[in-house]
Chains A and B, each alone.
Chain A
Amino acid sequence: MPEGKFCNRTPVNTQEDLDALLADKGGKQYYEEMEALDVDVPKLAASLKNTCKSRTSTWLEMCAHCGLCADSCFLYLVNDRDPKQVPAYKIQSTLGEMVKKNGEVDNAFMREAMEVAWSKCTCCNRCGQYCPYGIDMGVMFSYLRGLLHSQGFVPWELKIGAGMHRVFKAQMNVTDEDWTETCDWMAEEAQDEWPGLEIPIDKENADIMYTVNAREPKHYPEDISEAAILFHVAGENWTVPSSGWEQTSLSMFAGDWEACTMQVKHVYAAIDRLNPKRCVGTECGHAHRATVIEGPYWAGRPDGLPPKPYMHYVEWLAEALRLGKIKIDPAKRIKQLVTLQDSCNYIRNHGLKEITREIVSYIVEPGYFVEMSPNKEHNYCCGGGGGFNGIGRFRKQRNRALMMKRDQILATGAKLVLAPCHNCWDAIRDLEEEFKIGIKWSFLKPLVVGMMIVPEHLKPKEEEE
């Protein structure tokens, strides 16, 4: 069979197709069709010719097979040092073979490559740090994902996820109406306790344009209200766009570069429309990666920067605490052992390691913060990065991958984990569910809301008798 009804080389572009694909529960038919999906060899060879340039081909050719990357990979370590989990082996046996054969590969090869690309690498990029040549296999796996996606060999959930971005410009089928209604609802709910609080939509020339992860309006609307409270208390002139508010990109996990470009351009269009001084994104790692780090390149911006300065939430929060816009009540600081999860996407891959620790210095009583080991840019992935959390087919492998973070957390003795990243937060929640080690985990927003000093003039007025 050349192409299946669900499993094919065409991405999802309409709501109809999206609904049909979603109706195929668990991708049962999808994966059956995949077993018979043909490889379009001329197309694959052409893609390689056009995109496998000197950086990638040198990485593949020059690898000295020294094996120093093995210990850098947490998946190698948690899988009992299985040699098949050595990063160099993983990439050479997939992308390396594909390049050597100039795309002359078969269906079985592609399905195996899909399994390796999405269940044996989270694109955390740690191996590149430990390779003498700086061969970044995370970057290469991301590239391989793009090639696999273009041939239809992509996990079911991620084809849906990328389709969501194409159809709704947001994951989890959250529409612009859902979004603005949620903002209005959250503002209204908060106003009892916070008179004067607003969530201004589409305000032009504000100081800050705030963007989120679609799961906040979908599942965690209180996150939006906490963000609003913190902006309100800090006295920020801020806004959210009615469209272009969704900062995440499951298409990045899927390797659907066209959808990545569409999604990030949509956010940048909101920036152009509203002309804020700068942008702030929520506590999410991959959203930041997609919109701020990689996004400018997808959008074709030669300076490699978003149209306006674009901060991760931790940067804004650290600044607000540093400048005293938000003051912490010393009595309410965290007084239990607490550790911090460094998100690969903005710590290793955007250098914000000291910013999160600055926040810790304001909100944790001295003596109670314990670093994980290793930490900062050398930290291990949470175990669920790069789309791993969301793929049902690889749930068993993902659960095993969580063991590294579990052991790192246990070694700190901390019972609370700060996790300013949606993906890490999910992985840590799942590891607690899976292994029951008795920890709690939290974003920064709810903690800061609970421990800040509320200025008198922002408190609700006592009703007159």
Chain B
Amino acid sequence: MYQIITGPLLWLTFVVFVAGLAWRVVTYIKGLDWKLDRVAYGTQTAYGVRGAVRSIAAWIVPFGSQGWKVKPIFTILFFVFHIGIVVTPLFLLGHAVILNTRFGLGWPTLPMCIADTLTVGMLCAGVFIAVRRVALPEVRIITSLYDYTLLVITMAPFVTGFMAVHQLGGDYKFWLYAHILTGELMLLAVPFTKLFHVVGFFLSRGQLGMDYGIKRGGMKGTNMAW
């Protein structure tokens, strides 16, 4: 069992994840249409790239945009959640050990206490994000079961991983297997669900940035105050 889920299944997951996201990027870019979108992507590219970079930069930095500034609590939840998701698995000691034993790769790691803080922070933020969906009428009306499902899929590997690492909940093997499988499920879900915003954020934010960088003022020398 362990051999399969950390061997062929893991590789399959990586392939689907990478190829799926590549497919997302390619179809998005191929589907851009300068006439329908009314943005001269092809002829005013330098202005477009400049606009795209500004637009992405304003939103990827905490409190970098007006939108983040007017919603400080959500912004904190949002960044704690996302930093936890991205940073923890990439630099977790346990993951680095696997890389080292299998491929001999040296990999930077986080001290366990930081990894724990990020994980617990991310899980708490996730719970608050779920509560927010119920509590705020303006969020409730647009929330569907799909949104909760994605939250569960995203948080599951972190709950199970935390249990396994700290040998909580008794059966270590159960939590370890559950962690591997839910992790794979999440990665597999990314290209096929809204989780494709892993790349989609950059594409979509970049596109609106190009729109502003080319058509809506960028060529007048104005910087949009995102």
Contacts and interface: CB of A to CB of B under 8 A. Distances in A.
Interface in B33-51: 33-40, 42-44
Contacts of A65: 133, 139, 142-144, 147
Contact of A83 (B43, B71, B137, B203): B137
Given A67-B136, A134-B208, A304-B39, A83 B44 contact: no
Contacts of A66: 74, 139
Nearest to A302: B43
A72 B147 CA distance: 22
Contact of A304 (B28, B33, B40): B40
B66 A64 contact: no
Interface string A48-74: 000101110111011111111011100
Contacts of B147: 64-65
Contact of A55 (B31, B74, B194): B31
B159 to A, nearest CB: 21
A205 interface: no
Contacts of A304: 34, 38-40, 43-44, 214-215
Q: How large is the interface on A (under 10, 10 to 19, 20 to 34, 35 or more residues)?
A: 35 or more
A305 to B, nearest CB: 8
A351 interface: yes
Given A54-B32, A62-B196, A132-B201, A352 B220 contact: yes
A92 interface: yes
A68 B138 CA distance: 9
A349 B222 CA distance: 11
A375 B201 CA distance: 27
Given A58-B204, A377-B224, A134 B55 contact: yes
A133 B211 CA distance: 13
A378 B66 contact: yes
B140 interface: yes
Given A350-B216, A350-B220, A351-B222, A54 B27 contact: yes
Nearest to A376: B225
B84 interface: no
Contacts of A54: 27-32
A68 to B, nearest CB: 6
Nearest to B209: A134
A202 interface: no
Interface stretch (A20-28, A123-131, A224-232): A123-131
B20 to A, nearest CB: 14
Interface in B141-159: 141-144, 147
Given A54-B27, A134-B205, A297 B38 contact: yes
Given A65-B147, A67-B139, A303-B40, A132 B28 contact: no
Contacts of A378: 66, 225
Contacts of B7: none
Interface string A78-97: 00010110101100100000
B31 A53 contact: yes
A70 B143 CA distance: 13
Interface string B90-127: 00000000000000000000000000000000000000
Contacts of B220: 350-352
B205 A133 contact: yes
A76 interface: yes
Nearest 8 A/B pairs, CB to CB: A351-B217, A54-B31, A351-B222, A134-B208, A304-B40, A67-B139, A70-B138, A83-B141
Interface of A: 51, 53-55, 57-59, 61-68, 70-72, 76, 81, 83-84, 86, 88-89, 92, 128-136, 293-294, 297, 300, 302-305, 348-354, 376-378
5 contacts: A53-B33, A55-B32, A59-B204, A297-B38, A350-B220
